[in-house]
Amino acid sequence: VQLQASGGGLVQAGGSLRLSCAASGRTFSSHIMGWFRQAPGKEREFVAAIRWGTGRTYYADSVKGRFAISRDNAKNTVYLQMNSLKPEDTAVYYCARALSYSDNPSSYNYWGQGTLVTVSS
């Protein structure tokens, strides 16, 4: 399985960005696709996740109501729509795959390369 994240960039506070994560290889309905982020000097933290089959979503409290995760099964792609961005959202964003839901990065066994999101104040 290979994951390719894209869509990062520079945006002003209050703006929006949409990240994409294209997955190659076989996926199963029970698999979880997650987004994590890591700011300089900080640990990697959970942002959101979605189950391929049911579309059930999970969010960190810090992004609820602002971010939305979705998937396109036909394209094997997961999206993270980020609205009302804040400077504290600045980080490298990673997509990852797990066999079951977790907000712990150690539960995810495949990772994309990361895409940088910078939110200016």
Q: In the sheet that 2-6 helps form, which strands lie side by side, from edge to edge?
A: 2-6, 17-24, 77-82, 67-72
Q: How confident is the model at residue 30 (pLDDT cuts 50, 70, 90)?
A: confident
- Segment 17-39 shows an average pLDDT of 91
d(CA 103, CA 95): 12
For 66-79, the pLDDT digits (tens) are: 999 999 988 999 99
Distance of alpha carbon 51 from alpha carbon 48, whole angstroms: 11
